[in-house]
Structure 1
Amino acid sequence: MKLFLVGVAVGYVLGAKAGRERYEQIMRAYRGIVEHPAIQSAAGVARAKIGEKLGREG
Structure 2
Amino acid sequence: MAKFSFLLGFGAGYVLGAKAGRERYEQILGLWSDAKDNPQLQGLAGIAQARADDVLDSVKSKMGRDTGSDLPAARSTGTTTLPPATITESPDLTALPADPPPVV
TM-score w.r.t. structure 1 length? 0.55
Root-mean-square deviation (CA, aligned residues, Å) is: 1.5
Per the TM alignment, residue 25 of structure 1 is displaced from its structure 2 partner at its CA by 2.6
* 2:30 corresponds to 1:24: no
Which ranges of structure 2 fall in alignment gaps of 5 or more residues?
Answer: 1-20, 61-104
The amino acid across from 2:39 in the alignment is P
Per the TM alignment, residue 31 of structure 1 is displaced from its structure 2 partner at its CA by 1.5
- Specify which structure has the bigger relative contact order, considering alpha-carbon pairs within 8 angstroms and separated by 6 or more residues: 2
* 2:46 corresponds to 1:47: no
The CA deviation string for residues 3-57 of structure 1, in whole angstroms up to 9 with x for no partner, is xxxxxxxxxxxxxxxx434422321122101221111100000000010011112
Which ranges of structure 1 fall in alignment gaps of 5 or more residues?
Answer: 1-18
**Cα separation, 2, equivalents of 1:27 and 1:49:** 28
Q: How many residues align?
A: 40
**Cα separation, 1, equivalents of 2:24 and 2:33:** 14
